[in-house]
A and B are shown apart, each in its own frame.
Chain A
Amino acid sequence: MTTTLETSETKLVTDLKEIATDVVRRAMKGGATAAECVVREGDEFSTVVRLGQVETLKESGSRAIGVRVFFGQRAASTYSSDFSAAGIERMLKSALELAKICSEDPHAGIPEAGKLGSLSGDLHLYHEDVYSLPGPERIEYARRAEKAALDADPRIKNSEGGSFDAATGRKVLANSHGFVGEYRRSYCSVAVVPIAQDANGLMQRDYWFSVARSLAKLDSAEKVGKEAARRTLRRLGARKVKTAHVPVVLDPMVASSMLEHIFEGVNGDSVYRGASFLAGKLGQKIAGVNVTVVDDGAMPGGFGTTPFDGEGIPTRRTVVIENGILKSYLLNTYTAKKLGLETTANASRGLAGTPGIGPGNYFLEPGTKAPNQIIAEIKNGLYVTEFLGHGANLVTGDYSRGASGMWIVNGELAYPVEEITVAGNLKEMFCNISEIGTDLEFRGSVASPTIRIDGLTVGGE
């Protein structure tokens, strides 16, 4: 049985690689001067259990193929979900026709052959155990997680459900320099969204989750359910506060959004267009000396790890900010050429279009203070647990978002607050990160410890 499975797996891998290299070969035969093909294949399982009953059960797989062709400095791309000979032929023909109408772009092209490659060794990205649980036990995982939240407190009377998800995916990339790379990744997660109601009938919702590449590393259903309940219950009775200028502490889940803003600011695509206030600031101080930000696409087992980037270049570790000094932008081949720099292997490739730029494992180095110590040092301030909306402008740095969380009084989380805003300018905010916690934990490819930022305006009554 095992042997049969392995044989069929091996054959499948070969098939996808063969398809990709064949498409590249045919594109070159069709007159292209360079070509690149990506094939993606994946399957997913998801279930939601609400109030103890299965609400949805979804299970499926799909695959798709995309090609990018060049005529000299002109490039175009096409994609399809149709793997029939006719479907692939049509995709190729459209790409070759489309490229002819594109503009000559002196910086367009696939990477130089010498830069291509794939990290060797097991990066621990794929674990078969994500599907090892039989269907009924996956449902049971979700059910137990929700039950732990519902049992935690009588005020938790409703729920948007507990869920269990699993997925595996395979990606193959081939180009006309002879590069052929392939990797598989797995993923599983459990999440709960409880709803609590206070004596006045007012409701609050929050959530908690665990995510891992291996089922063995997933938190227990009970742990996730209890934490979801704790986060939801503490929001009951939330009130507005008066407009104030106070220290603001971001819990790790919301602090990671600050890392995303830095990412957007150092993204080569924003930098060469001047769409980032960090453009032209290499070597300059843009944050406090306590701030060191790293991107590492090669970290074994990471959520942002791949053996090669979207253009076939081996991933690596890049120090973005070191002790407050901007050390590197994050680049793909195109933006590196535009800026006269070297790529940092951050190309992200969808099925269509030109490659974008994406993070590997991207994080703020932890500090030395425990999160509760950071809170304990504040007499009057805001602890943010959720942001609403997308009010960050990387061109100007202007920042304004809806928020909810807890009000800090004399070093303690005193009462919940909501319907308030947090506003400032990112240029100053990066410099005003006055404390960084010890609690760095990856729950995705972008992660941050608890941070304190001074000088912000909290808008309320």
Chain B
Amino acid sequence: MVIANQERFFFAHYGLTNHDLETYLAAALSAGGDYADLYFEYLTSTSLMVDESLLKSASQGISAGCGVRVVSGERTGYAYTDDLSPQRILHAARTAALIASAPSKTTVAGFQQKPARSLYPVALPSVDADITAKVELLMRADRTARGFDPRIKEVRASYADELRTILVAGSDGTFAEDSQPLARVNVSCIAKTDASSGRESSGRGTSGGGGRVALDFFFGDKTPEFFAKEAARQAILQLDAREAPAGDMEVVLGPGWPGVLLHEAVGHGLEADFNRKKTSAFAGLIGKRVASEKCTVVDNGTMPWRRGSLNVDDEGQPTQETVLIENGILKGYLSDKLSSKLMGLADTGNGRRESYEHIPMPRMTNTYMLAGQDDPGDIIRSVKNGVYAVNFGGGQVDITNGKFVFSASEAYLIENGQITAPIKGATLIGNGPDVLTRVSMVGNDLKLDEGVGTCGKDGQAVPVGVGIPTIKIDRLTVGGTAKRETGGFMQ
């Protein structure tokens, strides 16, 4: 069933009318409340996996539902249904209404659709594209990875896509529709040395990418061969990795995905809900210095085709570019409707949710640091003894005390200004509100990640993007195992 970019999807397929929306919202506000909204979602998805050069797993699915939210002061009532019949939606609306206890409000009259961008105008969404073409992409990835080096022993290649069609209607007249494609290729490899080589060693590598794109994206620069070679290269590199050092030292981050540093160290701490509740280590720091003056960090939901981008957020608000840190000074928070209203701030269009079963909250979109003036080569040359980290697994942060980690999966020693040996994976740990104050050099090579990030908060997963130029952090704790005699970094 082709449902691409179809306006009035829920009107056409479920017989929904403006009058129905008004009726549901009136039921939601039947016990008072300041605001109510409806979030209709229809999601189709495909998932394919090639393992041992066989297409072993193929699945497709459809899920649809509606979530009803009622806001009364700081209180939120929420209910949802996966049955889009009027009786079930009305039942959900009356359940959500229980949060409030005041005379009913019946001020819902007429909807206004704000002009929104068209950041991902795909002609044919990937979910509706020929499935055999997707399988062929994975077979090409499998062949490339296996052909990269005889020490590549295992390869898994997967393709996942979805098309999410949403309708948001709010009691303040909000009306927004969007059709959000998402596609991703992923390749993972395991390398092993032959037992006969005398030294048993193994390594793993993963690579992938995509975005809010159609299938043709993978026939451009970012082919399955590109991701397969990258995954295989990382796995082979690990075979000769040395022990990572332990302790505080100079750290250089490569461009692109290492921007996960920003996501963990500052991004989450600047989500408005944590600051409204004063549970963030960044609470009360607006206007204060939280980074060196070389650092400017933004969150930008308006980048065409990007995984973290949205025409409108999940509350129907158009997304925007929001400056979080400008020349080292903390400028703003990422907000949704509830927090912007309670804090008297502008809604930055960051209200997101995983699905109709979830309450929206402030979330990041694409978060990155603007390019600086420094030459990446000069940055490396400036380091006497340190670590150069270019690829990461994931990260995590404790919002309240600001401590964050991110795990390097590809990193090298820097010795006397030269990149030398690859080192084993190691976790880096720091403190969000001050780690960026120790950024002494910022490269001119801003790069965004390939489109693989998924962020979890309160059990809700949403796709995001990150980016960063090459940067130098004068001191960060590296969690390796090397003893004094091999590391030379211990104090």
Contact = CB atoms under 8 A, between A and B. Distances in A.
A160 B457 CA distance: 14
A273 interface: yes
Interface string B211-236: 00000000000000000000000000
A101 B76 CA distance: 47
Interface stretch (B290-298, B310-318, B390-398): B390-398
A95 B59 CA distance: 8
Contacts of A458: 246
A240 B99 CA distance: 44
Interface residues of B, number: 80
A353 interface: yes
Chain A CB count within 10 A is highest, among B80, B153, B246, B397, for B246
Contact of B92 (A56, A60, A103, A108): A60
A62 B60 contact: no
B368 interface: no
B400 A205 contact: yes
Given A78-B59, A101-B132, A421 B80 contact: no
A323 interface: no
Contacts of B174: none
Contact of B99 (A57, A242, A390, A459): A57
B396 A402 contact: yes
B251 interface: no
Interface in B166-224: 190, 192, 202-204
Contacts of A90: 1, 62
A235 B398 CA distance: 13
A195 B398 CA distance: 12
A395 interface: yes
Nearest to B284: A201
A176 to B, nearest CB: 18
B429 A402 contact: yes
Contacts of B337: none
B247 A195 contact: no
A53 interface: yes
Given A457-B246, A457-B480, A94 B80 contact: no
A56 B96 CA distance: 10
B78 A81 contact: no
Given A62-B357, A275-B204, A393-B425, A103 B54 contact: yes
B427 A391 contact: yes
B155 to A, nearest CB: 10
B47 interface: yes
B375 interface: no
Given A82-B64, A203-B279, A401 B405 contact: yes
A460 B478 CA distance: 8
A418 B98 contact: no
Given A158-B277, A402-B429, A76 B62 contact: no
Contacts of B335: none
Given A63-B82, A79-B61, A400-B407, A353 B47 contact: yes
B340 interface: no
A406 to B, nearest CB: 15
Interface in A61-108: 62-64, 66, 75-82, 87, 90-91, 94-95, 98-99, 101-105, 108
Interface string B116-140: 0000000000000001100100000
Interface in B477-491: 477-483, 490-491
B77 interface: yes
B151 to A, nearest CB: 12
A101 B131 contact: yes
Contacts of B469: none
Interface in B392-443: 393-401, 403-407, 424-427, 429-431
A238 interface: yes
Contacts of A63: 82
B60 A55 contact: no
Given A390-B394, A418-B403, A421-B246, A56 B76 contact: yes
B45 to A, nearest CB: 9
A389 B394 contact: yes
Interface of A: 50, 53-60, 62-64, 66, 75-82, 87, 90-91, 94-95, 98-99, 101-105, 108, 135, 158, 160, 195, 202-205, 235, 238, 240, 242-243, 245, 273-275, 277, 351-354, 386, 388-391, 393, 395-396, 398, 400-402, 404, 418-425, 457-461
28 contacts: A53-B75, A56-B75, A56-B76, A57-B98, A75-B56, A77-B59, A80-B63, A99-B58, A103-B54, A203-B279, A275-B154, A275-B204, A354-B56, A388-B427, A389-B429, A390-B407, A393-B425, A395-B203, A396-B203, A400-B425, A402-B403, A421-B426, A421-B479, A423-B426, A457-B480, A459-B247, A459-B479, A461-B491
